[in-house]
A and B are shown apart, each in its own frame.
Chain A
Amino acid sequence: MPSSADQPSRDPVALFEAKRAEMQRARRGREIIFVVLFLLALAGSFYVGEVRIDHFIEGLPGLFNYVGETLPLIRPDHVVADVKEWYWGFGKWIQLLLDTIVIAFLGTLMGTLGALVFCFPASRNLMDNVAVYFLVRRVTEFARAVPELVYALIFVFAFGLGPLPGVLAIAVHTAGALGKLFSEVNENIDLRPVEGVRAAGGNWFHVIRFAVIPQVMPNFLSYTLLRFEINVRSASVIGFVGAGGIGQELLFVIRQFVYADVSAIVLMIIITVSLIDIGCESLRKRAIGEEVRA
């Protein structure tokens, strides 16, 4: 076909092929850029992260040795006595784990109360005052952007060692994290009840109480339970900086190479965390179930 050169648009197959080749070229160009950036980041990370393969291979047996070392000696002929020896500090550790749960619980409770105060002014559809909205948004952002452990470091300095700074650190971070989630829930509500309360002469607090809270309560509850699970995990390590709970003891036994105690305490933490996860899961299902039934 000699005419295809001056009339390319006549042949749909050629047109399609040309378009496809062009798109693939563009895509390939983008892909190459991505790969180059990725490799640069990788090389930079290897350099900055002081990754040395020889060190790693040298250290690998060390890791397995460490894990092996922490495993308790349990002989089949006196299992009970061996387990007893492994868990020699059971009473003390259970006490510390209870402390941990209490820290997580109080931190979640206070944080949730804070989030409840913050979330309504931080919702665009409920707050007409732009200045207040902006200010509250920034406060919650700051509260959740700083890690719990940093708050804990500062609060330990201000309030002294013990669970009190741990509770406060978790509370501040939780208020920020839940404040954001709660305000997102608020922004997705049905606005008709709000208008109804307003039309009946209700003020802002009436609107929140009678139009918003009934809609958002199940979601709030479910987020709070989820946060409690997260906070139990954080509370177990917040003792690393002296803010109470099992973390302090764990830090001690890891630093002092008390191998059997490391595995004993870590196992207790895992079991506690899983039990709390399972409990919260069933509570959460109930909270959401109520919403469906209502």
Chain B
Amino acid sequence: MSASIPSAAEIARAKARWPRAFGFSAQERVRLAVIWSVSIGATMFALWQTGFFDLPRLVSGVGQLGFLVKLMMPPASNGWFMDFMEGIFETLAMAFLGTLLASLAAIPLGILGARNVIPNWLFHFGLRRIFDGLRGIDQLIWALIFVNVVGLGPFAGIMAIFVSDTGTLAKLFAEAFENVEAKQVEGVRASGGDRAQVVRFGMVPQVLPVILSNALYFFESNTRSATILGIVGAGGIGLQLSDRIRVNNWDEAAFIIIMILITVALIDNLSRMIRRRIIGTEAQLKKSRNR
């Protein structure tokens, strides 16, 4: 046993050879201290600038918040239930049409943006940057712009969802087209398929599940975002919600928030169910391929 206990000289030698195993060196320690103190200092400065050290304001704000929650209880529709339902349906319609239009527009754009379809890198790069630009502008900004162009109402929201999601979906679809496996395409060609048959039986079955499941996923997320587009006047339940908050009807606001939560949960479950079916068939496909 005593042989396994290293002597002081051995420890010193080990320390010289593997200094990192014995903790940070003095130099590293200084560097870490500087990094940490600078970032903590910057954070503190940002907190101070934002007003987090204004204790009276924080306290009164929290008190106010408690007061609001008290006003929200119990949530009540006060006879506006049918109007709220209309807002919810409007929201769903906006999400549905916006996602549908975006998916339809993104399919040709995705084909154009796929590197294996058009190998010119300049075209590819330019188109991808346009997609990024559409994506970089938030849906709410599009909604504000479309309210100016087509007026208040759900149509502005549909257009906002359509334009902002076309970029994202086109990028995803382009990647799906780029990932098409050549084996199946060759198989169809080898068994005598013409160009249309190659696309129909060699490529579409590989791409369609990706397109459908992404479209469903975006419908899900657009249902969420469509609930707030109304805050800037682009239709849907958000308009009702921001109105209720503006005029201090907190019980109705809480009622609307609960309705939004239920709707979003329902749509999530529905879309997950359908998506699992689509992905399920895809998984079977993969399994058979591996076999």
Contact = CB atoms under 8 A, between A and B. Distances in A.
Interface of A: 41-42, 44-52, 55-56, 59, 62-63, 66, 102-103, 105-106, 109, 142, 145-147, 149-150, 153-155, 157-160, 162-164, 167, 233-234, 236-237, 240-241, 244, 250-251, 254-255, 257, 262, 266, 269-270, 273-274
A158 B228 contact: no
A267 B277 CA distance: 41
A102 B145 CA distance: 26
Interface residues of B, number: 57
A257 B148 contact: yes
Top 3 closest pairs, chain A to chain B, by CB: A45-B93, A159-B61, A49-B93
Contacts of A66: 145, 148-149
A55 B117 CA distance: 36
B261 A154 contact: no
A50 B227 contact: no
A192 to B, nearest CB: 24
A266 B141 contact: yes
Interface stretch (B41-49, B118-126, B201-209): B41-49
Contact of B231 (A163, A236, A241, A274): A241
Contacts of B137: 266, 269-270
A269 B137 CA distance: 8
B68 interface: yes
B51 interface: yes
A128 B246 CA distance: 44
Contacts of B154: 48-50
B90 interface: yes
B93 A254 contact: no
Contacts of B133: 270
B150 A45 contact: no
Contact of A49 (B47, B49, B158, B238): B158
26 contacts: A42-B96, A42-B97, A48-B89, A48-B90, A48-B92, A49-B93, A49-B154, A50-B155, A59-B149, A59-B151, A106-B52, A109-B43, A146-B260, A153-B245, A154-B68, A157-B68, A158-B64, A158-B68, A159-B57, A162-B51, A164-B61, A250-B141, A254-B145, A266-B137, A266-B141, A269-B137
A102 B46 contact: yes
Interface string B59-96: 00110110010000000000000000010011011101
Contacts of A42: 96-97, 100
Given A49-B235, A50-B153, A153-B241, 17 more contacts: A48-B89, A50-B155, A55-B150, A56-B155, A62-B149, A105-B43, A106-B52, A109-B43, A146-B260, A146-B261, A150-B257, A155-B61, A157-B64, A158-B65, A159-B57, A236-B138, A273-B136
A53 B65 CA distance: 45
Nearest to B154: A49
Given A49-B155, A149-B231, A41 B148 contact: no
Interface in B112-146: 132-133, 136-138, 140-141, 144-146
B155 A160 contact: no
Q: Taking each of A48, A159, A254, which has the highest tally of chain B beta carbons within 10 Å of its own beta carbon? A: A48
B136 A274 contact: yes
Contacts of A105: 43, 46
B57 A164 contact: yes
A164 B51 contact: yes
A44 B155 contact: no
B144 A240 contact: yes
A226 to B, nearest CB: 15
Nearest to B262: A145
Contact of B50 (A44, A167, A234, A257): A167
B225 interface: yes
B279 interface: no
B219 to A, nearest CB: 10
B26 to A, nearest CB: 23
B210 to A, nearest CB: 19
B149 A41 contact: no
A150 B240 CA distance: 12
Interface string B184-210: 000000000000000000000000000
B158 A51 contact: yes
Contacts of A56: 150, 155
B180 interface: no
A66 B144 CA distance: 12
